[in-house]
Amino acid sequence: MGEAILHGHRVSYRTAGEGPVVLLIHGITGDSRQWNQIIPLLADRYTVLAPDLLGHGQSAKPRGDYSLGAYAVSLRDLLIVLGHRRATVVGHSLGGGIAMQFSYEYPVFCERLVLVDSGGLGPEVHPLLRAATLPGAELVLPLIAHSRLHVVGDAIGHALGRLGLELGHDLAEMIRGYASLSDAEARRAFLHTVRAVIDLGGQRVNATDRLYLAQMIPTLIVWGRRDPLIPVEHATVAHRGIPGSRLEIFDDAGHFPQLEQPVRFVRMLIDFIESTGPAAFEFSDQDLNMLRERMLKRGRKSR
């Protein structure tokens, strides 16, 4: 465990190993513990860095900007403070949206992009998250986060998991996430975060119009076919939108393939890293011209 102060705010993180950096970004209501099963498996080869995003886990929960852009810049600043120049960026759920924003805004820091059941690829999302955008959600969340409800719900989730039902893993993680909202500051940060990317109609932040730019960075897309929160069809959208990307579907997994099948997940991630050369943009004149030509080409196609 480590801690950094970024612009006056505490950022907690987990780190292990030595070598090229792998940055792991969790999803909404989650924290760095969701990567605990895979961190030791990666640490033999890489420097693994898994922060608690601001508003989550042990990190500060200030009243402030919880947009994807704000999260992306905080991760860039964390890399700088810790002395890392580049990283393979792995984002799960909301973290996938942040990872895409990071690669788009700060390509000089991004060697590879890995999207795991990622947000930001279409409007469809579970109604439970859409409901959090409704007026009055502030009054309901404390009831949902009540500890007694989570004792029962957690037991149900574990029982379903032991029966081999993928919903059990997803339910257990959702329960743990909502349990974290018993703290008023965490609830406020959650509402700011979810309302920055979702409204009653679904996800309103959509990266599909910029996916073509990600082809300049080696990209892996991972999805659980039984994901009840974000449909697996979004994986196909991303794969088609990013020429040269790889697509891996975990047929028996839900929203958390890294938790349900950690060994397979790590093997796949290592193979992807070892079999691809890292992007190495310096924004030289050549890099700038290449980016400009891609954008102009897409603009001509859109006319």
- Alpha-carbon span 109 to 234, nearest angstrom: 26
Q: Provide the β-strand partners of residue 6.
A: 9
What are the CA-CA distances from residue 127 to residues 74, 230, 236 (Å)?
29, 10, 22
User: Do residues 22 and 14 touch, judged by C-beta distance below 8 A?
Assistant: no
- Grouping H, G, I as helix, E, B as strand and the rest as coil, residue 159 is helix
Question: Annotated catalytic residue: which of 26, 150, 192, 255?
Answer: 255
CA angle 207, 245, 117 (to 5 degrees): 55
Examine the residue annotation and report whether 255 is marked as an active-site residue of this protein. yes
Examine the residue annotation and report whether 93 is marked as an active-site residue of this protein. yes
- Alpha-carbon span 81 to 161, nearest angstrom: 40
Residues with Cβ within 8 Å of residue 52, at least 6 apart in sequence: 11, 12, 13, 26, 31, 32, 58, 59
User: Do residues 261 and 250 touch, judged by C-beta distance below 8 A?
Assistant: yes
Q: Provide the β-strand partners of residue 249.
A: 223
Question: Annotated catalytic residue: which of 32, 93, 118, 245?
Answer: 93
Question: Annotated catalytic residue: which of 26, 192, 227, 245?
Answer: 227
Residues with Cβ within 8 Å of residue 75, at least 6 apart in sequence: 23, 25, 51, 98, 102
User: Do residues 219 and 113 touch, judged by C-beta distance below 8 A?
Assistant: yes
Examine the residue annotation and report whether 77 is marked as an active-site residue of this protein. no
Catalytic residues: 93, 227, 255
